[in-house]
Structure 1
Amino acid sequence: MDPLLEKAFEGGRGTDGMRCIAHRGFAGLYPENTLTAVRQAAAQADMIEVDIRRCGSGELVVFHDETVDRLTDETGAVADHSADELAAMDVDGSGEGIPTLADVLDVVPSDVGLDLELKESGLIEDVQTAVEGTDIDVWLSSFDTDVVATAAETTDWPVVLIVDDASEAAIERAAGIGCAGIAPHWRLIDFALIERAHRSNLSVYAWPINDIERAQSLRKMEVDGIVAEEPTACPGD
């Protein structure tokens, strides 16, 4: 791993090298992907994971689902609504709308990183433009191998492939396209997977973690980070 990636993948605060990454801004505790969630998570996590997609007016917005149906009283695809319309919606009864990536970047302190999960293709150039001029450490992640490969080829940021299997082929695929890490579901992780990944210079990030006992078990297995639903799932010293 080159020095840039080594710096970006250093261990988190007070966790013996295991980073605490707030899943959607600790979605188990705060309204997911909102500015409140990001602000709260920034005080309690090493990094914040948020989901990025494009809205109907062209801006990058922070929202997990393809449609707004689950988390708002409105309906329809995010891609069919403008940024102003999305901002006027009420996310999960919080009184907050759907923020843009620019909104999120404005409230993240420079000592907290951002894991930007790309939910669709064609976002990388605009992400680079949005982040340019900030001091925030950024990773890019996705389930989409093509998106991850493009990100690894066109940016200097660490890139993580989210995987739904724990096969040798998945590890080889991630290493082959220049990833710095893989993110399997916690149920897929065992000592053998971690050893194989580390042997391929890949860090391992487990998701979604919602209890301290599981996090402590993963730390003993030398997982490099957890993507946590609540801050209480992140072990301290």
Structure 2
Amino acid sequence: MSGTTGTTERQATNQDAPTLIAHRGFAGVHPENTVAAFEQAATGLDVRPEMVEVDVMPTADGEVVAFHDFELGRVTDAPADLADRFVWETPYEKLTQLEVLGTGESIPRLADVLDALPPEVGVNVEFKNPGSTGVRPRENLPRDDRPAQRDLWLDFAERVVSTLADCENDVLVSSFAEGALAAVRAVDPSIPVAAVFAESVADGMEVARRYDCEAVHAPWNMISGTPLFNAEYGSLGPYEDVDLVETAHREGRTVNVWTVQSWYQAAQLRRAGVDGVIADYPGVLQFGDDAGLADD
């Protein structure tokens, strides 16, 4: 585990194309968070990412698995009695019997994902849940609440860090949950971390500063100065008009943006100076930063 984000060198000028980060292994073209997705993203495409993003949470018996949702129903063939069960309430052996999106792929362990990646491809490990309904993501926590939230994540953070110990890939840990970032810092301060923003630029930056995050991860409609700013994106926004890219770069933090779906979004974000795009599709950067765009 080399412990770098892979993009900090170009923060000052951002003259190169942004880092391409394969969201869940390019979930737009592959079955998300499966070994096959990560293998194909890393080695099977003409356009290959510099980093992949994988979501992690625990099983009932302590394994660390790659899975995004809390419940099993959306992406697996779980029977009715399992579809609404939380992943962390389910033993790993039971999870291996489920099929992801009708592809024949099963839910893998984080260790299996790492084994499938060549060492030159970085890995962004996003902490989704430590096995508790008591976590508080998307919050800038009050001081008195921070220790308890950190403690909820500590055991899980130790398991993930142990899994990453022999990893040769560049590693970045990210989370919406402040408690997860605090736990990773407590377990191994050398691992780069990223605060994932959702509710507020100001609150997100406070969390990033609190844990000296090497990176910040923002939704694409949070980047001011672009036509994307405060565009409709699910329930996200509207946001305060703060130049997040300039602010983060001034403080030495990389800005990666999620979840980019089109070349147009990627081109606008590149013009704004972001360092990375977390994308569902591999071709979003192929047309460059100015292709087909009128001057603002």
Same fold (TM over 0.5): yes
Where does the alignment leave 5 or more consecutive residues of structure 2 unmatched? 130-152, 226-242, 289-296
Secondary structure at the counterpart of residue 216 of structure 2: strand
Deviation at 1:80, TM superposition (A): 2.2
The whole-number CA distance in structure 1 between the counterparts of 2:203 and 2:98 is 42
| Kept in 2: contact 1:45–1:112 (CA 8 A) | yes
| Kept in 2: contact 1:152–1:179 (CA 8 A) | no
Name 2:38's counterpart in structure 1: 38
Moved more, 80-89 or 27-36: 80-89
Percent of aligned pairs with the same amino acid:
34
Q: Cα–Cα, structure 1 residues 91 and 52, in superposed 2: closer, same or farther, change >3 Å?
A: same
Deviation at 1:55, TM superposition (A): 0.5
Name 2:145's counterpart in structure 1: none
Query: Which of 236, 243, 256 lines up with 1:205 in the alignment?
Result: 256
The whole-number CA distance in structure 2 between the counterparts of 1:231 and 1:8 is 18
1:215 aligns with 2:260: no
Secondary structure at the counterpart of residue 110 of structure 1: coil
The whole-number CA distance in structure 1 between the counterparts of 2:202 and 2:247 is 8
The whole-number CA distance in structure 1 between the counterparts of 2:127 and 2:5 is 22
AA of the residue aligned to 1:190: S
The whole-number CA distance in structure 2 between the counterparts of 1:188 and 1:148 is 21
1:59 aligns with 2:63: yes
Deviation at 1:94, TM superposition (A): 0.7
Q: Normalised by the size of structure 1, how large is the TM-score?
A: 0.91
1:181 aligns with 2:185: no
| Kept in 1: contact 2:34–2:107 (CA 8 A) | yes
Query: Which of 187, 201, 209 lines up with 1:167 in the alignment?
Result: 201
Name 1:227's counterpart in structure 2: 278
Name 1:136's counterpart in structure 2: 169
Measured against aligned partners, the alpha-carbon deviations of 1:138-182 in whole angstroms (never above 9, x if no partner) come to 110000012112223432111001011343332132122111111
Structure 1 runs (4+) deviating above 4 angstroms are 3-8
Query: Which of 114, 122, 125 lines up with 2:158 in the alignment?
Result: 125
Secondary structure at the counterpart of residue 89 of structure 1: coil
The whole-number CA distance in structure 2 between the counterparts of 1:9 and 1:201 is 8
Name 2:294's counterpart in structure 1: none
Q: Which has the larger radius of gyration?
A: 2
Q: Cα–Cα, structure 1 residues 199 and 137, in superposed 2: closer, same or farther, change >3 Å?
A: same
Equivalences, count: 232
5 Å-filtered alignment, 1:79-118, equals 79-118=88-127
Measured against aligned partners, the alpha-carbon deviations of 1:70-91 in whole angstroms (never above 9, x if no partner) come to 1112122212222121112110
The whole-number CA distance in structure 1 between the counterparts of 2:72 and 2:219 is 25
| Kept in 2: contact 1:166–1:184 (CA 8 A) | no
Q: Cα–Cα, structure 1 residues 113 and 236, in superposed 2: closer, same or farther, change >3 Å?
A: farther
The whole-number CA distance in structure 1 between the counterparts of 2:116 and 2:213 is 28
Secondary structure at the counterpart of residue 62 of structure 2: coil
Secondary structure at the counterpart of residue 93 of structure 1: coil
Name 2:51's counterpart in structure 1: 47
Q: Normalised by the size of structure 2, how large is the TM-score?
A: 0.74
Secondary structure at the counterpart of residue 39 of structure 1: helix
Deviation at 1:17, TM superposition (A): 4.6
Name 1:78's counterpart in structure 2: 87
Deviation at 1:131, TM superposition (A): 1.6
| Kept in 2: contact 1:117–1:140 (CA 8 A) | yes
| Kept in 2: contact 1:52–1:118 (CA 8 A) | yes
AA of the residue aligned to 1:123: F
